[in-house]
Chains A and B, each alone.
Chain A
Amino acid sequence: KQEVTQIPAALSVPEGENLVLNCSFTDSAIYNLQWFRQDPGKGLTSLLLIQSSQREQTSGRLNASLDKSSGRSTLYIAASQPGDSATYLCAGGPGNQFYFGTGTSLTVIP
């Protein structure tokens, strides 16, 4: 069964810092990968999708990359803001389902 690990489990940074969240899969046969944010008591908000033919995606201050050979993905957040505080989840899979990590809880301190 696919296992997904997210490191670190929690992260606290001062406003303005750049940061990197990591995600790794035990089975590198990932068809596509998606990053989400989840606010307390809420559903998941899609941030970025990296499809099978892609290696990275960018949206505003966010950049996600995927190395399929190693089964690793990173989410880079530039110039962090207090509004970025949330739990970030990565999910990957063969297409018919996603395997999720347990998330990285991010706190950006004003």
Chain B
Amino acid sequence: GAGVSQTPSNKVTEKGKYVELRCDPISGHTALYWYRQSLGQGPEFLIYFQGTGAADDSGLPNDRFFAVRPEGSVSTLKIQRTERGDSAVYLCASSPGTAAEAFFGQGTRLTVV
């Protein structure tokens, strides 16, 4: 596709449920990033992939959060036992390489009720 695609655009889930958020990066981009943005704040880093491997997962807040990128393209962010504090917009970005320009998707707005 022309840009980074994230699905779903909106997700409402009940506290304690499991959710998966999907990111389709720009074709050929090797680097992929996940960020989380709360209202009125700048995006906060979660995890970075270079190819298939998680090169830096230091931003994941706890072990309820996990992300995969099995074939080096599409990535899925997985959140177990969701909590109300997980409510935020989850943003995905991709770039041709580590130091190159990053392009963001439109985000998935997650609401935990």
CA distance A42 to B9 in the complex (A): 10
Give the size range of B's interface with the partner: 20 to 34
Shortest CB-to-CB span from B24 to chain A, Å, is 13
CA distance A51 to B96 in the complex (A): 14
Which residues in B have their C-beta under 8 angstroms from that of A44?
Answer: 43, 91, 93, 104
The answer on a CB contact under 8 Å between A99 and B40 is no
The answer on a CB contact under 8 Å between B99 and A52 is yes
Which residues in B have their C-beta under 8 angstroms from that of A99?
Answer: 45
Extra 15 A-B pairs, beta carbons < 8 Å, given A44-B91, A91-B43, A103-B42: A32-B99, A34-B102, A46-B101, A46-B103, A49-B100, A95-B99, A97-B33, A97-B58, A98-B43, A100-B35, A100-B43, A100-B44, A101-B42, A102-B41, A102-B42
The answer on a CB contact under 8 Å between B91 and A43 is yes
The answer on a CB contact under 8 Å between B59 and A36 is no
The answer on a CB contact under 8 Å between B48 and A96 is yes
CA distance A34 to B58 in the complex (A): 21
The answer on a CB contact under 8 Å between A4 and B33 is no
A76 at interface by CB-CB < 8 Å: no
- Chain A residues at the B interface, C-beta cutoff of 8 Å: 4, 31-32, 34, 36, 42-46, 49, 51-52, 89, 91, 95-103
The answer on a CB contact under 8 Å between B102 and A46 is yes
CA distance A26 to B110 in the complex (A): 31
Which residues in B have their C-beta under 8 angstroms from that of A32?
Answer: 99
The answer on a CB contact under 8 Å between A97 and B45 is yes
B25 at interface by CB-CB < 8 Å: no
The answer on a CB contact under 8 Å between B48 and A102 is no
CA distance A34 to B102 in the complex (A): 8
CA distance A42 to B109 in the complex (A): 10
